[in-house]
Amino acid sequence: MEGLFVGFTAITWKQLLMMAVGGVMIYLAIKKEYEPALLLPIGFGTILVNIPFSSVLDQVEGGQTIVGALSLFFRAGILTELFPLLIFIAIGAMIDFSPLFRKPMLLLFGAAAQFGIFFTMMAATLFGFDLKEAAAIGVIGSADGPTSIYVASRFARNLLGPISVAAYSYMALVPIIQPPVIKLLTSRRERMIRMDGAQKTISRTTLVLFPILVTVLTGMFAPTAVALIGFLMFGNLVRECGVLKKLSLAAQNELASLVTLLLGITIASTMTADRFLQLSTLFIIGLGLAAFVFDTAGGVIFAKAMNLFLKKKVNPMIGAAGISAFPMSARVIHTMGLKEDPSNYLLMYAVSANVSGQIGSVLAGGLILALVK
Amino acid sequence: MSETVMAIFRKALAVTGKGMLALFVFMLLFFVLLVLVDKIFPGKDVENSN
């Protein structure tokens, strides 16, 4: 009979607090629709792993280890980097690179808007994190959950929980984070700049060759980035080849849904009270916000700098869309443009910059892996 | 700030310099790639498959 109450007698206030954190995540996912596909599984998983002696985690009984399902998923899917890579196939299959061909110059914004990653990495070192941990925290600024998880699983497994939660939470908060930063850095006149570009058709050969060439080119310079960029581009090749329509749709739908589900609940296995309730978690949450702010600032300031040399000015807000949060960031920029001038349609350009941000964020993750020793 | 923290910060600064430079170089390469591939295989009728 005693065994029945073991949960009640063993539970600590920290575990109860973590269950409440899980509850808040579920609330945000359902009520506010903040990244529900991730926050709901993470939230529920957080409750699961904070129940004393939970069988979803490895438990030792009589000297024998009883394997827990989430611990097993963690070892098989996160430590091997399998889940994030599978997600990249799905994301690749969802990306349409053709807007980039219409305005290739916008690719540069995909680089500039990764500044937050590096700024945050530097800031994190000042808070006492070692270089690898700081780099993993910085990658929250990639605005790309799988990249954050991938880098954190290599560099800072102990921080995987808070990094994932921060990454996905701030991605959902892009419509709140970006507008004030953009307004602070631009004048109304700049926000009203119109952009023009010709509509043109892109050949299938071009769309098929692009992912292959990008993979080879990146791989030759930064082999450590091959897994990240390669899986993303593989997914895109499946989409664009035109002969794997079923597989492309499966990658975009079933694969994405299934792996997202597993990824979320598996990440939750790191959300135990003893790991999560630490001062470092607060720092990570704060630094994650800084990463998104400085990404946005990096993109806007770069666009303003470009305007010093360009005859046809670029709307500097487009620079902010160079982050990877797709299509949320593009929508934010488009809406801001419409507010200043209801006849100024920036969506196409913002989408181009946003797509380049998706390449940039994965590339930045790969470069971090290559450069941080 | 302790000397250790500053040493790590300096390393992070170096990674930032190299990382941002490499990002721009890669994006410039992709830019050239995009323009070249589009020039060699100009669009005809298909815009996108899916």
In chain B, residues with a C-beta closer than 8 Å to the C-beta of A96 are: 48, 50
- In this complex, do A121 and B16 lie within 8 Å of one another by their Cβ atoms? yes
CB A177 within 8 A of CB A140: no
In this complex, which of B15, B27, B43 lies closest to A360 when CB atoms are compared?
Answer: B27
Residue A59 has φ and ψ, to the nearest 5°, of -130, 145
pLDDT digits (tens, 9 = 90+) for A95-111: 888 888 888 889 999 99
pLDDT digits (tens, 9 = 90+) for A111-166: 999 999 999 999 999 999 999 999 999 999 988 888 999 999 999 998 988 998 88
pLDDT digits (tens, 9 = 90+) for A218-269: 888 888 888 888 999 999 999 999 999 999 999 999 999 999 999 889 988 8
- In this complex, do A126 and B1 lie within 8 Å of one another by their Cβ atoms? yes
Distance CA(A116)–CA(A295), nearest Å, equals 4
A108's CB contacts (< 8 A; 6+ apart) are: A302, A306, A356, B24, B27, B28, B31
Rounded to the nearest angstrom, the minimum Cα separation between A210 and chain B is 7
A336's CB contacts (< 8 A; 6+ apart) are: A179, A182, A191, A317
Distance CA(A45)–CA(A22), nearest Å, equals 8
Burial of A323 (0-12, 13-18, 19+ CB in 10 A): buried
Residue A60 has φ and ψ, to the nearest 5°, of -100, 120
- pLDDT band of residue A197 (cuts 50, 70, 90) is low
The 8-class DSSP code of residue B49 comes to: -
Instruction: Identify residue A99 by its one-letter amino acid code.
Output: P
Total residues belonging to chain B: 50
* Residue B4 touches chain A, beta carbons under 8 Å: no
In chain B, residues with a C-beta closer than 8 Å to the C-beta of A203 are: 38, 41-44, 46
Half-sphere exposure of A86 (CA within 13 A, CB side): 20
Distance CA(B33)–CA(B29), nearest Å, equals 6
Instruction: Enumerate the β-bridge partners of residue A59.
Output: A66
- In this complex, do A121 and B15 lie within 8 Å of one another by their Cβ atoms? yes
* Residue B33 touches chain A, beta carbons under 8 Å: yes
- pLDDT band of residue B46 (cuts 50, 70, 90) is very low
What pTM was computed for the model? 0.86
In this complex, which of A200, A221, A222 lies closest to B43 when CB atoms are compared?
Answer: A200
At A225, list the tokens: 């980035």
Distance CA(B50)–CA(B46), nearest Å, equals 11
- In this complex, do B50 and A245 lie within 8 Å of one another by their Cβ atoms? yes
* Residue B16 touches chain A, beta carbons under 8 Å: yes
Which ipTM value was assigned to this complex? 0.87
In chain B, residues with a C-beta closer than 8 Å to the C-beta of A135 are: 12, 15
Helix (H, G, I), strand (E, B) or coil at A202: strand
